[in-house]
Amino acid sequence: MRNLLRSRLFVLLLGALFAFSACHGPRLTKANVDEVSQGMSRKQVESILGPPTSIDSTNLLVMKKVTYAYTQGNESVTIVFVNDQVASKESNLHD
């Protein structure tokens, strides 16, 4: 009986989690990308846009360059970090 109750609770919690996550639209929007500004940390950018689709990292002698690429269908956003701060961003997102 106790296992049955736990199973039902687990299924209920899992259903609530899926319902909650379905309420949120895509994080990769023009408005969200516009929130990203020069000097932000990687953690700050990820809190706005979520984890990137891909990461490219280059450690040079005097600086560290990391490029975050976000893709959503045929739209994309590229954010370049130099020494862990946003140095530039490019986007082809539509309104």
> What would you report as the CA-atom Rg of the chain, rounded to the nearest whole angstrom?
19
* 8/92 Cα distance (integer angstroms): 45
Q: What is the reported pLDDT for 60? A: 83
Q: Architecture of domain 27-91 in CATH? A: 2-Layer Sandwich (3.30)
Our CA angle for 95, 26, 53, nearest 5°, is 105
What are φ and ψ of residue 52, in 5° steps? -70, 160
Name the residue with higher pLDDT: 20 or 57. 57
pTM of the full structure: 0.71
Name the band, by pLDDT with cuts 50, 70 and 90, for residue 70: very high
